[in-house]
């Protein structure tokens, strides 16, 4: 048994072109005809000869389910994804670390009528990346409700002035 296994470079064929730069793969998992990998700046999925790239600040969260060998994640736009990985490697741990690293601010606001809204500021993990703000409703909170929207905007403005006073 080998102590160290070398990664087959063929696994990442075409990734450099998809990223526009040489990939720095920090961890990856594999399944039947699928590679899910984490680079410093993005989560990447290689499937059917095509790479899909999600910058970490656009990945809302996810989880590894060992029983079903399924890695699931969602993006901040609400899209849900899942792949079956027979070898997850260190990807689940890296996934958590990269999500946390790209999160600048995260607060939960009680919505005026019902539910909660999570206000999250995320930043890309490259140099000098801009901060992007997201409002994620739960428990029946409605972002189209004028009172809820007003409360979210006010809290976001407060957070911006507290965390980014130079703006």
Cα–Cα distance measured from residue 148 to residue 119, given in angstroms and rounded to the nearest whole number: 12
Give all domains of the chain, ordered by start, each with its CATH number.
12-100 (2.30.29.30), 102-162 (no CATH)
Strand partners, 39: 25
* Eight-state DSSP code of residue 113: S
pLDDT tens by residue, 42-74: 999 999 889 999 999 999 999 999 999 999 999
Q: Per residue in 15-26, pLDDT tens?
A: 989 999 988 899
Q: The pTM is what?
A: 0.83
**Segment 79-97, tens digit of pLDDT:** 999 999 999 999 999 999 9
Give the phi and the psi of residue 160 in degrees, each rounded to 5: -60, -45
Nearest residue to 120 (alpha-carbon basis) of 131, 99, 109, 105: 105
């Amino acid at each position: 048994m080998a102590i160290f296994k070398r990664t087959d470079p063929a696994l990442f064929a075409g990734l450099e072109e998809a990223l526009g730069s040489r990939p720095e793969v920090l961890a990856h998992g594999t399944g039947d005809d699928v590679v899910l990998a984490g680079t410093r700046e993005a989560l990447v999925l290689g499937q059917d000869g095509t790479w899909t790239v999600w910058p970490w600040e656009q990945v809302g969260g996810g989880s590894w389910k060992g029983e079903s060998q399924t890695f699931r994640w969602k993006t901040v736009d609400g899209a849900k994804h899942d792949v079956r990985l027979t070898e997850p490697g260190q990807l689940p741990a890296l996934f958590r670390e990269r999500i946390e690293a790209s999160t600048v601010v995260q607060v939960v606001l009680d919505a005026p009528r019902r539910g909660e809204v999570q206000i999250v500021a995320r930043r890309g993990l490259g140099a000098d990346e801009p901060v992007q703000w997201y409002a994620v409703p739960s428990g029946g909170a409605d972002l189209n409700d004028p009172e809820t929207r007003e409360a979210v905007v006010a809290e976001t403005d407060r957070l911006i002035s507290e965390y980014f006073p130079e703006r």
